[in-house]
Structures are given as C-alpha cells and as structure tokens.
Amino acid sequence: MNNKLLTIATVAVAAVAIILAVAIFGTSDGQEADKAKVTYAADDVKIDKSILTAAGEGKVMVKPDRATINMGVQTEDKDAKTAQTQNAQKMDAVMKKLKTLGISDDDIKTSQYNVFPQYDYNDDKSTLRGYQVINMVNVIVKDTAKLGDIIDQAAQAGANQMDSVAFTISEQDKYYNEAIAKAIEQAKEKANVMANTAGVKVKAIINVSEATAGYQPVYGMGGVEYAKDQALAATAPTPIASGQLEVKANVVVTFEIE
C-alpha cells in the first residue's frame, strides 16, 4: 500500500515538473513563435520626432511692365454684307496703326467676331432693322508708358470699342520666388517665437509645402465705349495709371524641435 502511494506521488511530481518546464521554457516551436511575436512587436514600434508647424506669407509689390487691352470695331447697316465690308475696312486701318506703333503680329489676337441681326419691336411684332458686326482683338502692349497714346491713335484709326485693360508682369517667376523666400522667413520667425514661448528649441526644417498663391492682374476701363469725338481724344490723351501688383506666396513649414 505504501509502495503504491509512493509511486502515485512520484508520478504526480514528475507531471508537475513537466508542466512547469513547458510553462517556463516552452517547446522549441513555441519558442520560435514567441521570438517571432517579440520581433514583430519591436518592428512595429515607431518613435516620431517632436515637431512644430508654422505658416508664412510673403508679398512683393511690383510695377506692371505690360498691358493687355481688348479693342475693336462695331459697325451697323441694313445689309449684312455692307456692314461686314465697312467693319473690315475700319479694322484693317486699326491693325495697320497698331503695327506702326510697334505692336507685332504675335501680340495681336482676334478675341471676338460676330454678326448680329438687329430688330425693332412694336406691338409684339419684330422687324429686321439691319445687322451689327463686331470684330475685337486682344492687344499686348509691352511698354505701358505708351498705352494711353496707343489707345488714342487706335481710336482715331477707327476703333470704337475698348473693352478692358489688364496690367501684368513679364517676369512672374522671378517675383514669385522672392515672395516664397519671404514666406519661409516669416514661418521661421513664427516658429522661433512659438518655440521660445513653449520652452523648446527649433532644430531643423523637416518639410516645406507651397499653398495656393500668385497674383491677380489689375483691370481698368471695364466695358467702356471709346469717345466718338476724335478731336477731343487727340487734344486730351487718355490718362492710364497702372499702379502696382501684389505678388503673394503662402507656405507651411514643419520644424523638428528639441
């Protein structure tokens, strides 16, 4: 009886030892699985840098060095062919005048050509009165100091429509790059103020993103029909003031801090 109890006790101790061994050391397959889990967990851990983000805006004021004006001729006649012929003759005179003023063919582009029937309405009845022909061209003026004179002389040559004037700059990229540099400098100043206030230090720039920006042309003379009194136009040159254009750039800069 004592021997039987001893045998049972021995078996029990051995079983416990095996269980403890498995729990502590595991099988070889289990060890590999645990290693895989540990390795995966280590690879999945990422330590992000401490960052600070600041926005900056840069502006450059530039005097426009070129202008685009939409001008042309409007004629009317009872006969469509006659209205077209008259328009062609006047427009030809305007084009020749523009060329004598130094405007090249490349800087003159047709923007509109239309023939419209004109009606009179009376007692719910329409009667064809004639035809209206409109021929418009976009003219690029590369010397804005001559713009007023060009407008006056084109009008004297027969142009009776002056739709609009838009002032622009030729070296857009040059001034935009200057604006970007100013925007980044402003972002740096903001970042330093925030970092000092927060008790940290700006270490380096991590990323710079460009936001939407640019410049808008300056417009004038919107929808104006030029004076038909050519004598007045000759004695009183058209005053044109171009002002200045604002070239603007916006950036977002991310800094590493410590």
Looking at residue 193, its pLDDT comes to: 95
CA–CA separation, 171 vs 66, rounded Å?
A: 10
Same domain for 103 and 152, yes or no, is yes
* 193 contacts 242 by C-beta, under 8 angstroms: no
Instruction: State the average pLDDT over residues 24-50.
Output: 44
Q: State residue 110's pLDDT score.
A: 96
Predicted local confidence at residue 105, as pLDDT: 94
| pTM, 2 dp | 0.63
- Pairing relation of β-strands 202-214 and 125-141? unpaired
Q: For 80-108, how does the pLDDT look when each residue is reduced to its tens digit (9 = 90+)?
A: 999 999 999 999 999 999 999 999 999 99
Per-residue pLDDT at 135: 98
Question: Measured between alpha carbons, how far is 23 from 38 in angstroms, rounded to an integer?
Answer: 17
Sign of CA dihedral 205, 206, 211, 215: positive
Residues 126 and 34 in one domain: no
DSSP secondary structure letter of residue 120:
E
pLDDT single digits (tens) 219-233: 654 433 444 444 444
Distance from C-alpha of 254 to C-alpha of 31, rounded to nearest angstrom: 44
Q: How confident is the model at residue 9 (pLDDT cuts 50, 70, 90)?
A: very low
Give 231-250 pLDDT, tens digit per residue.
444 456 677 777 889 999 99
Is 103 found in the same domain as 84?
yes
Q: Examine the domain organization and report whether 36 and 142 are in the same domain.
A: no
Q: Are residue 135 and residue 8 in the same domain, yes or no?
A: no
Sign of dihedral through CA atoms 199, 201, 205, 211?
A: positive
Q: pLDDT value at position 239? A: 77
Q: How high is the pLDDT of residue 219?
A: 60
Higher pLDDT, 227 or 183: 183
Locate all alpha helices (DSSP H) within the chain, ordered by sequence.
2-25, 28-44, 80-100, 147-157, 172-198, 230-235
User: Tokens standing for 155?
Assistant: 């009008």
Are 156 and 109 found together in one domain? yes
Residue numbers of the domain that contains 21:
2-44
Q: 113 φ, ψ to 5°?
A: -145, 115
Instruction: Give the C-alpha separation, 190 to 56, whole Å.
Output: 8
124/200 same-domain check = no
Residues 155-174: tens digit of each pLDDT? 999 999 998 899 999 999 99
pLDDT above 90 coverage of the chain, percent: 63
pLDDT confidence of residue 216: 61
Whether 187 and 67 map to the same domain: the answer is no
* pLDDT higher than threshold 50 for residue 190: yes
**Residue carrying structure tokens 């990229």:** 173
Place of tokens 């523009």: 98
CATH number, position 142: 3.30.70.2970
The tokens for 188 are 């740096």
Q: 245 burial class (0-12, 13-18, 19+ CB within 10 angstroms)?
A: buried
- If asked whether residues 104 and 156 sit together in one domain, one would say yes
If one counts the domains in the chain, the total is 3
* Same domain (yes/no): 34, 110: no
- Specify the 3-state DSSP secondary structure of 257: strand
Same-domain status, 234 and 136 = yes
Cβ atoms within 10 Å of 195's Cβ, excluding its own: 18
Same domain, 116 and 163: yes
Q: Give mean pLDDT, residues 191-220.
A: 84
Rounded Cα gap, residues 251 and 182, in angstroms: 10
Task: State pLDDT tens for residues 122-157.
Answer: 888 899 999 999 999 999 999 999 999 999 999 999
